[in-house]
Amino acid sequence: GGPAMAAVRDVEIDPEGTFKYILVRLQRPGGGEQRDIVRGTKAAEFHNHIFEKVNPEMEKLGYECKCLGGGKIDHNSKDKKIRVFGLSTGYGKADHSVTVEILKKVYTDYEITWSDDKK
C-alpha cells in the first residue's frame, strides 16, 4: 500500500532565480510503477544536497530513488520562462528533454527550453 504515487508532486523548484536541479526516478521496490520527478533549489550548494533531502522523504512513502543526473534551472517567473542547462559533476547530466516534459506538465503557460550549455 502506502500513499499513491500521485501524492508526490512532479516538480518542486524555487519560484525564481538560477539554481541546481536533479532528475529523480521513483520506483516501487521489486519493479512495478515508476516515475520521474524534478527537484531544484537555490538552498542546495551541491546536487547531492537535493538528493539527500528527497531520498528519505520518498523512502518514507515506500519508493526507491535513483538520481538520473542533474543540471541547472533558470526560472524567470516574470517572463514565464524556464531554461534548463548545465550538468552535475557528481551525477552527470540529466536528460534535459525529459526534465522539460515534466516541467511542462506543471508550468503549462511557460516557454520552457533546454540546452547543453554550461552557463
Place of cell 541546481: 20
Nearest to 17 by CA among 38, 41, 51, 47: 41
Query: Would you call 75 a catalytic residue per the annotation?
Result: no
Which one is catalytic: 47, 49, 75, 96? 47
The answer on whether 78 is annotated among ligand-binding residues is: no
Q: In angstroms, rounded to a whole number, what is the distance separating the alpha carbons of residues 13 and 2?
A: 25
Element (H, E) at 82: strand 81-85
* Known binding residues: 20
Q: Please list the active-site residues.
A: 47
* Known binding residues for substrate: 20
